[in-house]
Amino acid sequence: MINLCGFAVSNYYNKTKLVMLEKGIAFSEEQVFPSQDEALLKRSPLGKIPFIETERGCLSESQVILEYLEEAYPENPLYPADSFERAKCRELIQHLELNIELHARRLYKEAFFGGTVSEETKTEVKEKLEIGLKGLARLAKFSPFIAGDTYTAADCVAWLHFFMISLTTQKIYAVDMVAAHFPDAANYMQLIETRPAAQKVAADRAAAMAAFLSFTKK
């Protein structure tokens, strides 16, 4: 059985978890926090989470994990069968992660961890987020799913990253940049939240976030 390692506040951990729930893959969860401990570095090369443990060894990087799961567990596919459509689905994921989430991540220290981020960083990140979100708007279909009429891995990623980016930009800029660029974002989020797998991830995330925020405020 797969052992998923990380913690339920992380959107990358939740991405991996959501995909396993959607695909009906049996897995256990082990709470692991990022660190540079030698024991962890043997399981995850940069000491990051998430990673999975399989019978054949550990695997890190959430997108690599998703693609492994899709190949190893073809039941309940989350990628289109057609190769061009599959690439379009991956294109959405890559934009969401490289051009949006990775920039927003630079604000998490102030938004969630009780630290501060310089005004210069906030200005730079806002510009990058504008560019990334405008780019995504040119690609996204929302008809009703982000890649078209079928729920895919890109929805798993979009739903999780939109949640974090909405929260972060409200806290840092007092504006929900996701809603500003995608006026129907709330309906899209609700649509994904009709899925039992998303409900389970959201409930676990809420509990983990409450525990995490009460700990960081101490």
Contacts with ligand GSH, residue ranges (CB under 6 A): 10, 12, 34, 47-50, 61-63
Residue number with CB closer to ligand GSH (62 or 169):
62
Nearest-approach distance from CB 12 to ligand GSH, in angstroms: 4
Residue number with CB closer to ligand GSH (34 or 144):
34
Instruction: Tell me how far apart the alpha carbons of residues 126 and 201 are, in angstroms, rounded to a whole number.
Output: 28
Nearest-approach distance from CB 167 to ligand GSH, in angstroms: 14
Residue type, 95: H
C-beta of residue 62 within 8 angstroms of C-beta of residue 37: no
Residue number with CB closer to ligand GSH (128 or 144):
128
Nearest-approach distance from CB 30 to ligand GSH, in angstroms: 14
Nearest-approach distance from CB 102 to ligand GSH, in angstroms: 8
Residue number with CB closer to ligand GSH (181 or 205):
205
Nearest-approach distance from CB 88 to ligand GSH, in angstroms: 20
Residue number with CB closer to ligand GSH (114 or 196):
114
C-beta of residue 1 within 8 angstroms of C-beta of residue 27: yes
C-beta of residue 147 within 8 angstroms of C-beta of residue 87: no
Q: Token pair for residue 204?
A: 């676990």
Instruction: Tell me how far apart the alpha carbons of residues 159 and 3 are, in angstroms, rounded to a whole number.
Output: 23
C-beta of residue 142 within 8 angstroms of C-beta of residue 81: no
Task: Please report, for residues 29, 116, 145, 208, the alpha-carbon distance to residue 191 in angstroms, rounded to integers and kept in the order given.
Answer: 26, 34, 9, 23
Pairing of strands 2-6, 27-31: parallel
Residue number with CB closer to ligand GSH (49 or 153):
49
Nearest-approach distance from CB 164 to ligand GSH, in angstroms: 9
In three-state secondary structure terms, 26 is: coil
